[in-house]
């Protein structure tokens, strides 16, 4: 069996392969539907007269629109697998990840997971007006690290980001950073914690070439520590390098689910047309 | 050796030894739990407790970030209440010379305004706490109650700065008394009350986004009913109305704070059972708001 998957080569280890063979499920997604409700999307919401006429005529407000982002997706992920999610923009990849992480409620269907899946990303918790130093602490706490853990890893987070390579920038507010520097610090904070089920949403494309190499390395490490990894990316090469299985989504529906080579080939063929 | 095609599993059908199990059965067999499910109330409290450092750090960070672009920086924490007091002194103390029946009217007024502002701002921030932070809710895992509680702590921190200023101006009315020690329990009770209210309204505000627009009107009504700018003890209204004004939670906390700080407010002007009301409101609204918020824990984030 093992030989059959060597076609996807990449950075997978033999250990991970053996784990996959054991078929221990870590994520079970069963007929999942996710619906966003968007307020203020309808026409004429801004005009008071149209709002009034709606109230008078008792028509239902058109201002709440539903976006059906994921439609009936089912799959089972196993321990040791590293799964790429591909599809065009707006195909529901990120939404699917958030639903698996339990961050977006499911409209229908269910998601079962082993432990607490985590999204690699901490941007929303950071504040631009605070110093890099305080953001490291705040981000760590937001991800659920204890104060001791943060104290222990603080130096390695700062070193990894390379923020201090050109002077003492960590004690300056984050709004003074260049966009590359800020992205590097964000990635370093986010990648400081290891997870059972890890989900990465296009996090690889930050920083300069040297930092990108370093972050790819770190992601491979995280994969070793994690049971299962999900990776959303538009870069087919990074998917080929890191994933042994690919799920292809289009308009919220699952188009194909299988070994990396086959799915990517079909996906590229479809996109050439 | 198998062919590649065998690896394409039909969606959500277990392979290997588990063939034939339904997804739910498979999940049960391997002890998987429903993602994003609402934890039990005791588990939720435990999770919240383990995030206490995050709650405080988030509140402090928000507060620090608030004044970071001002040249005087954190000095504004004290300047804002000081300027507020100056405005009231100018209008009511010098221009209008009001409060002939109420001794030390400026101090009386400042206590009312600061205590009311604490609840007002906590309620406003609580209402928006989920709706305005959807990015955070959709990115990271934490008990969502962290947010309204954190926003209430921000207001508490601001009130503490106001209290320092307040103690300063109360010194113009009377010297420190033993009853100043009551300030702490009163603030704790009001904090619990405010947190409960912020939690309850956070849930409402997350579902009905118009709540934030409506709140200022409700709060203004509440302010006039709380005796912020006048002495409820001095007005003549029907008995039912008087009772209602006396048990109004904010009026209760304002009355107690005035009693604690001002020598001119004696215990005989306090409404009956005022301490019981203060504790009762804190417990009922605090616990009720928390449970009400927890009941929708898994739904926050849909927007």
Residues B11 and B63 in one domain: no
Biggest CA–CA distance in chain A, Å, is: 70
Is residue B39's pLDDT more than 70?
Answer: yes
Which residues numbered 244-303 in B keep a CB inside 8 Å of some CB on A?
298-299, 301-303
pLDDT score recorded for residue A5 = 40
pLDDT score recorded for residue B93 = 74
Is residue B148's pLDDT more than 90?
Answer: yes
Residues A148 and A107 in one domain: no
Residues A225 and A260 in one domain: yes
Of A207 and B34, the structure prediction assigns the larger pLDDT to B34
What's the CA gap between A223 and A197, in Å, rounded?
9
Residues B103 and B181 in one domain: yes
Mean pLDDT confidence for A240-254: 89
Mean pLDDT confidence for A234-245: 83
- Domain extent for B251: 40-299
Which residues are CB-neighbours of B44 under 8 A, at least 6 positions away? B38, B143, B145, B294, B297
Is residue A231's pLDDT more than 80?
Answer: yes
Q: For chain A, first and last CA: distance in Å?
A: 34
Residues B226 and B90 in one domain: yes
Beta-sheet pairing, A108-113 with B33-34: antiparallel
Select from A22, A25, A146, A228 the residue whose CB has the most chain B CBs within 10 Å, as the one to mutate to test that interface: A25
Asked if B35 and A37 come within 8 Å (Cβ–Cβ), the reply is: no
Biggest CA–CA distance in chain B, Å, is: 98
Tokens (6 digits) for A166 = 């050109």
Which residues are CB-neighbours of B67 under 8 A, at least 6 positions away? B73, B74, B76, B77
pLDDT score recorded for residue A7 = 40
Q: Looking at beta carbons, which residues of chain A come within 8 Å of B137? A: 103
* CATH, residue A103: 3.40.50.300
Tokens (6 digits) for A53 = 């006429």
The beta-carbon neighbor of B32 closest among A25, A73, A259 is: A25
Beta-sheet pairing, A228-232 with A108-113: unpaired
Asked if A257 and B33 come within 8 Å (Cβ–Cβ), the reply is: no
- Domain extent for A177: 128-189
Contact B156, B114 (CB under 8 A): no
Residues A86 and A143 in one domain: no
Could you report the per-residue pLDDT of B223-236, keeping only the tens digit for each? 888 888 778 777 78
Residues B23 and B47 in one domain: no
- Location of structure tokens 């999942």: A32
Asked if B65 and A127 come within 8 Å (Cβ–Cβ), the reply is: yes
Mean pLDDT confidence for A82-98: 88
Lowest mean pLDDT of A234-238, B161-165, B271-275, name the range: A234-238
pLDDT score recorded for residue B10 = 45
Asked if B17 and A142 come within 8 Å (Cβ–Cβ), the reply is: no
Mean pLDDT confidence for A64-85: 87
**Helix H or strand E encompassing A38:** strand A25-38
Q: Is A199 exposed, middle or buried (0-12, 13-18, 19+ CB in 10 A)?
A: buried
Contact A228, A79 (CB under 8 A): yes
Residues B243 and B105 in one domain: yes
- In chain B, DSSP finds a helix count (H) and a strand count (E) of 12, 1
Could you report the per-residue pLDDT of B67-84, keeping only the tens digit for each? 877 777 778 878 888 888
Asked if B61 and A110 come within 8 Å (Cβ–Cβ), the reply is: no
Residue A123 falls within a domain, yes or no?
Answer: no
Is residue B277's pLDDT more than 60?
Answer: yes
CB of B239 less than 8 A from some CB of A: no
Residues B21 and B125 in one domain: no
Residues B102 and B11 in one domain: no
Number of domains in chain A: 2
CB of B8 less than 8 A from some CB of A: yes
Residues A151 and A206 in one domain: no
Q: Count other Cβ atoms within 10 Å, centred on residue A143.
A: 25
Cα dihedral B16, B20, B21, B23 sign = positive
Asked if B61 and A138 come within 8 Å (Cβ–Cβ), the reply is: yes
Alpha-carbon gap: A14 to the closest alpha carbon of chain B (Å): 17
What's the CA gap between B287 and B119, in Å, rounded?
17
Residues A207 and A144 in one domain: no
What's the CA gap between B175 and B263, in Å, rounded?
8
Residues B80 and B100 in one domain: yes
Residues B232 and B285 in one domain: yes
Asked if A28 and B137 come within 8 Å (Cβ–Cβ), the reply is: no
Which residues are CB-neighbours of A188 under 8 A, at least 6 positions away? A157, A158, A160, A161
Tokens (6 digits) for A144 = 């659920």
> What proportion of chain A, given as a percentage, has pLDDT over 90?
12
Tokens (6 digits) for B7 = 């690896």
Q: Looking at beta carbons, which residues of chain A come within 8 Å of B13? A: 76
Could you tell me if residue B154 is left (phi over 0), alpha (psi between -120 and 50 degrees) or otherwise beta? alpha
Select from A2, A71, A141 the residue whose CB has the most chain B CBs within 10 Å, as the one to mutate to test that interface: A141
Residues A108 and A228 in one domain: yes
Tokens (6 digits) for B34 = 């429903």
pLDDT score recorded for residue A123 = 77
Residues B20 and B168 in one domain: no
Asked if B140 and A117 come within 8 Å (Cβ–Cβ), the reply is: no
Of B296 and A60, the structure prediction assigns the larger pLDDT to B296
pLDDT score recorded for residue B9 = 44
Residues A108 and A40 in one domain: yes
Tokens (6 digits) for A92 = 């529901």
Residues A87 and A149 in one domain: no
Asked if B140 and A143 come within 8 Å (Cβ–Cβ), the reply is: yes
Residues B161 and B53 in one domain: yes
Residues A24 and A152 in one domain: no
Could you report the per-residue pLDDT of A91-137, keeping only the tens digit for each? 888 889 888 888 888 888 888 888 778 787 777 788 888 899 999 99
Which residues are CB-neighbours of B70 under 8 A, at least 6 positions away? B76
Number of domains in chain B: 2
Measured in degrees and rounded to the nearest 5, phi and psi for residue A76 equal -125, 130
Residues A100 and A201 in one domain: yes
Tokens (6 digits) for B291 = 């449970």
Could you report the per-residue pLDDT of A6-19, keeping only the tens digit for each? 444 444 455 556 66
What's the CA gap between B194 and B278, in Å, rounded?
12
What's the CA gap between B252 and B281, in Å, rounded?
9
pLDDT score recorded for residue A118 = 78
Domain boundary residue, one of A189, A210, A240? A189
Tokens (6 digits) for A233 = 């990316």
Beta-sheet pairing, A228-232 with A245-250: unpaired
Could you report the per-residue pLDDT of A166-194, keeping only the tens digit for each? 788 889 888 888 888 888 888 888 888 87
What's the CA gap between B76 and A223, in Å, rounded?
47
Is residue B199's pLDDT more than 90?
Answer: yes
Could you report the per-residue pLDDT of B8-17, keeping only the tens digit for each? 444 445 555 6
Which residues numbered 104-143 in A keep a CB inside 8 Å of some CB on B?
104-106, 110-114, 116-119, 121-125, 127-130, 134, 137-138, 141-143
Could you report the per-residue pLDDT of B181-195, keeping only the tens digit for each? 999 999 999 999 999
Q: Is A67 exposed, middle or buried (0-12, 13-18, 19+ CB in 10 A)?
A: middle
Residue A168 falls within a domain, yes or no?
Answer: yes
Q: How many A/B residue pairs have CB atoms within 8 Å? A: 180
The beta-carbon neighbor of A5 closest among B7, B9, B298 is: B7
Residue A57 falls within a domain, yes or no?
Answer: no
pLDDT score recorded for residue A8 = 41
Could you report the per-residue pLDDT of A17-70, keeping only the tens digit for each? 666 667 788 889 988 998 887 766 555 445 677 666 666 666 655 567 788 889
Residues A95 and A207 in one domain: yes
Beta pairing partners, A35: A68
Nearest CA in chain B to A32: B12
Residue-averaged pLDDT of chain B: 85
What's the CA gap between A262 and A257, in Å, rounded?
9
Residues B92 and B241 in one domain: yes
Q: Looking at beta carbons, which residues of chain B come within 8 Å of A1? A: 1-2
Band the pLDDT of B54: cuts 50, 70, 90.
very high
CB of A176 less than 8 A from some CB of B: no
Which residues are CB-neighbours of B26 under 8 A, at least 6 positions away? A25, A28, A76, A112, B14, B18, B32
């Amino acid at each position: 069996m093992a030989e059959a998957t060597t076609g996807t080569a990449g950075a997978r280890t033999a250990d991970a392969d053996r784990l996959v063979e054991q078929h221990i499920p870590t994520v079970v997604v069963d007929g999942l539907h996710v619906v966003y409700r968007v307020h203020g999307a309808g026409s004429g919401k801004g005009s008071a007269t149209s709002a009034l006429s709606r109230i008078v005529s008792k028509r239902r407000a058109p201002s709440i629109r539903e976006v059906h982002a994921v439609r009936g997706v089912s799959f089972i992920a196993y321990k040791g697998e590293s799964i790429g999610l591909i599809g065009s923009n707006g195909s529901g990849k990120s939404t699917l990840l958030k639903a698996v992480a339990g961050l977006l409620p499911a409209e229908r269907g269910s998601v079962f997971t082993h432990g607490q899946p985590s999204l690699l990303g901490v941007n929303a918790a950071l504040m631009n007006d605070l110093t890099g130093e305080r953001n490291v602490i705040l981000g760590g706490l937001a991800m659920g690290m204890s104060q001791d853990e943060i104290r222990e890893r603080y130096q390695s987070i700062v070193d990894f980001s390379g923020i201090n390579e050109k002077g003492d920038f960590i004690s300056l507010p984050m709004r003074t950073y260049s966009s590359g520097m800020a992205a590097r610090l964000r990635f370093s904070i986010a990648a400081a914690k290891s997870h059972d089920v890890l989900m990465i949403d296009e996090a690889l494309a930050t920083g300069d070439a040297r930092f990108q190499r370093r972050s790819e390395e770190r992601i491979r490490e995280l994969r070793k520590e994690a049971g299962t990894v999900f990776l959303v990316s538009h870069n087919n090469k990074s998917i080929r390098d890191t994933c042994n299985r690919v799920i292809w989504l289009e308009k919220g529906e699952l188009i194909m689910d299988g070994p990396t080579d086959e799915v990517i080939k079909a996906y590229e063929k479809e996109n050439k047309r | 050796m198998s062919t590649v095609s065998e690896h394409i599993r039909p969606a959500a059908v277990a392979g290997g030894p588990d063939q034939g199990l339904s997804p739910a059965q498979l999940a049960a067999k391997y002890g998987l739990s429903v993602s994003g499910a609402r934890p039990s109330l005791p588990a939720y409290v435990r999770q919240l407790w383990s995030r206490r450092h995050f709650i405080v750090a988030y509140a402090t960070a928000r507060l620090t970030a608030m004044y970071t672009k001002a040249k005087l920086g954190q000095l504004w924490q004290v300047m804002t209440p000081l300027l507020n007091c100056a405005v009231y002194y100018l209008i009511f103390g010098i221009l209008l010379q009001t409060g002939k029946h109420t001794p030390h009217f400026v101090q009386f007024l400042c206590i009312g305004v600061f205590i009311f502002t604490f609840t007002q701002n906590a309620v406003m921030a609580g209402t928006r706490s989920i709706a305005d932070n959807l990015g955070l809710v959709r990115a990271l895992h934490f008990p969502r109650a962290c947010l309204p509680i954190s926003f209430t702590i921000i207001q508490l921190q601001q009130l503490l700065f106001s209290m320092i200023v307040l103690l300063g101006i109360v010194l113009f009315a009377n010297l420190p008394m033993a009853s100043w020690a009551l300030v702490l329990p009163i603030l704790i009770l009001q904090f619990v009350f405010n947190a409960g209210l912020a939690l309850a309204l956070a849930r409402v505000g997350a579902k009905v986004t118009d709540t934030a627009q409506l709140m200022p009107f409700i709060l203004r009504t509440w302010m006039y009913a709380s005796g912020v700018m006048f002495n409820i003890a001095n007005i003549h209204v029907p008995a039912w109305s008087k009772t209602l004004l006396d048990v109004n939670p904010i009026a209760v906390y304002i009355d107690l704070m005035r009693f604690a700080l001002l020598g001119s407010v004696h215990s005989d002007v306090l409404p009956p059972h005022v301490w019981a009301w203060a504790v009762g409101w804190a417990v009922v609204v605090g616990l009720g708001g928390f449970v009400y918020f927890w009941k929708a824990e898994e739904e926050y984030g849909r927007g």
